[in-house]
Amino acid sequence: MALMLWYAISPWFGGTAATAGLLAAFVDYVGRLFTPVRELSGKISILQRAASAADKIAGLLLCDERVPFGDRPLPEAPGEVAFEGVSFAYGDGPDVLRDITLAIRPGEVVALVGRTGSGKTTIGKLLVRMYAGYRGTIRVDGVPLDEVDQAALRRRIAVVQQDVVLFGGTVRGDLTLGADISDARLREALDLAQASDVVERLGGLDGRVVQGGRNLSVGEAQLLSFARVLARDAPLVILDEATASVDSLTEARIQAATAALFAQRTVLVVAHRLSTITHADRIVLLDQGRILEQGTHQALLARGGAYAALFEAQFTHGDAVANGASAESGRAG
Ligand code: ATP
Ligand code: MG
C-alpha cells in the first residue's frame, strides 16, 4: 500500500522519489481533506431530516381542520358521561368505533380494556373533542358535546395521556400549565402522586424540567402528569395508562397515585395492566371498536369469556404482556 502510494505520488514531485516524510505528510493531508467531506455528508443527512420535519410542521400549520365547539356552559355537576350509539372513523378510514353505548355515573371508575388498536384511546380522544365527525351522541353532564363551550370542557376533563407531554421550564409551570394553582395545592398533589422526591431532586417547584422531560425517567414523567391532574379540580379524568414498562418501585408508586385518583374523581381509565383495574366499578372490553363484554372483574371472570381469557393470558405470560400486544410494541396507538 505504502509502496503503491510512493510510486503514485513520485511524479508530482518532479519525478524524484518521495521521501518517507513526504509520504507521511501526504497521507496526513489527504486525511485532513476527507474528514470535513465526511462530516459534510453527515450534516446533509441531518438537513434532509430537518427539511422533512419542517414539511410536516408546515402541513400542520396550514391544516384548517378545526373541531367546532358550541357555547353552552356545563352545569355544576360531578362529572357524568354518556356515549349513545357512537361510531367513528379517522378521515376516510374504516370505522374504529362501532355503535358504542356507554354511560359513566358520577364518581364511577370505568376501565377500558382490549387488544392494541381496539379503540380505547379513541374513546378518550372523542370525549375531549380532539376529533368531531362521529355518529351518535356524546353527552357530558347531560349536554351534547358539540354544544359545549370549549373552555368549560377543558375545565371539566383532565387527561393523563399515554405519552406524557412535558413542556420544559420550571416544575411549577409544567404542573400548572398556566392555571392559577397555589404552591400548597401543588405540594399536596405531588404527595398524592408519590412525586415529591422527584421534584425535590429537580430543585423544588422552581427546579428545571428539560423540554420533553428528558431529565426524567418515563416513570417519573408519569408521576408528574398524575400530580398535574390531581392539582386541578376537574371532576372527570381520562387516564390512558402508559404502555412503557417501568421498574417495580415506580410501578408501585404509579399504582398508589392511580388509587388516589380513583378515590376522588369520575375516571375513564384505559388499562394496559389488568392488575391496575381489578377494583374498577366496571370493566368494558373492546374488540375492533365494539363493546364485547362489560361488568365487574369478578362478574367477567365468572362469565369465562374473552376478558377471563385475557386476564388468564396476562397472568401466565407476566404483566408486561397486555391486551394481546407484545411488550415490544411499546407505545403503539
Ligand atoms: P393501544 O392499546 O395500542 O393504545 P387503542 O385501543 O388505544 O390501542 P386506538 O389508538 O384507539 O387504539 O386506535 C384504534 C384504531 O384507530 C387503530 O386501528 C389505529 O390504527 C387507528 N388510529 C388511531 N389514531 C389514528 C389516527 N390519528 N389516524 C388514523 N387512524 C388512527
Ligand atoms: Mg391507546
The predicted pLDDT at position 142 comes to: 93
And the C-alpha cell for 331?
A: 407505545
Angle ∠(154,71,61) on CA atoms, nearest 5: 60
Pocket test for ligand 1, best of 98, 120, 292, 326 (most atoms within 8 A of CB): 120
The closest-lying atom of ligand 1 relative to the alpha carbon of residue 162 is: 4
Higher per-residue confidence, 62 vs 138: 138
Ligand at shortest distance from the CA of 122: 1
Indicate if ligand 1 lies below 6 Å from the C-beta of 117.
yes
User: 271 CA to middle of ligand 2, Å?
Assistant: 9
Q: What is the pLDDT of residues 167-205, one digit of tens each?
A: 989 999 999 988 899 999 999 999 988 999 999 999 999
Q: Please list, in sequence order, all residues whose beta carbon lies within 8 angstroms of the beta carbon of residue 138, skipping any fewer than 6 positions away.
A: 81, 82, 83, 84, 86, 126, 127, 144, 145
Residues 15-24, mean pLDDT to the nearest whole number? 72
- Given ligand 1 and candidates 86, 88, 90, which is best to mutate, with the most ligand atoms within 8 Å of its CB? 90
Ligand closest to Cα of 161 equals 2
Q: What is the separation, in whole angstroms, between the first and last Cα of the chain?
A: 55
Average pLDDT of the segment spanning 239-259: 81
pLDDT tens sequence across 72-82: 999 888 889 99
Looking at the predicted structure, is the pLDDT value of residue 325 above 80? Answer: no
**DSSP sequence for 139-199:** EETTEEGGGBBHHHHHHHEEEE-SS-----EEHHHHHHTT----HHHHHHHHHHTT-HHHH
Q: Which residue has the higher pLDDT, 315 or 194?
A: 194
pLDDT at 213: 84
Q: Return phi, psi of residue 248, to 5°.
A: -70, -30
pLDDT of residue 273: 80
Which pLDDT score is estimated for 242?
74
- SS3 at position 10: helix
With cut-offs at 50, 70 and 90, classify the pLDDT of residue 212. Answer: confident
The Cα–Cα gap between 243 and 279 comes to: 20
> Mean pLDDT, to the nearest integer, of 296-322?
82
C-alpha distances out from residue 52 to 19, 40, 58, 84, 183, Å: 50, 19, 10, 41, 42
Distance CA 85, CA 265 (A): 25
> Which of ligand 1's atoms lies nearest the C-alpha of 272?
2
130: Cβ below 6 Å to ligand 1? Answer: no
- pLDDT band at residue 321 under the 50/70/90 scheme: very low
| Average pLDDT value for the chain | 86
Report pLDDT for 38: 87
Q: Other CB atoms closer than 10 Å to residue 328's CB: what's the count?
A: 7
Please give the Cα distance from 102 to 290 (Å, whole number). 11
Ligand 1 centroid, distance to 242 Cα (angstroms) = 14
Most ligand 1 atoms within 8 A of CB, residue of 97, 112, 122, 276 to mutate = 122
Q: Of 41-45, 90-94, 238-242, 280-284, where does mean pLDDT reach its minimum? A: 238-242
Q: Tell me how far apart the alpha carbons of residues 317 and 313 are, in angstroms, rounded to a whole number.
A: 6
Q: Residue 298 CB: number of other CB atoms within 10 A?
A: 9
- State in Å: Cα 273 to ligand 2 middle: 13
Q: Which of 23-32, 100-109, 112-121 has the lowest mean pLDDT?
A: 23-32
pLDDT at residue 333, rounded to an integer: 35
Q: What is the pLDDT of residue 152?
A: 93
Q: How far apart are alpha carbons 183 and 181 in whole angstroms?
A: 7
Question: For the ranges 45-59, 91-105, 129-143, which has the lowest average pLDDT?
Answer: 45-59
Work out which ligand 1 atom sits closest to the CA atom of 90.
Answer: 29
- State residue 318's pLDDT score: 57
Q: Which atom of ligand 1 is nearest to the CA of 119?
A: 11
pLDDT (0 to 100) of residue 137 = 97
**Residue 14: what pLDDT?**
64
Whether residue 35 is predicted with pLDDT greater than 90 in this model: the reply is no
pLDDT band at residue 332 using 50, 70 and 90 as cut-offs: very low
**The predicted structure's pLDDT at residue 320:** 43
Say what the pLDDT of residue 248 is.
Answer: 81
At position 183, the amino acid (one-letter code) is: D
Of all protein residues, whose CA lies closest to atom 5 belonging to ligand 1? 117
109 strand-pairing partners: 267
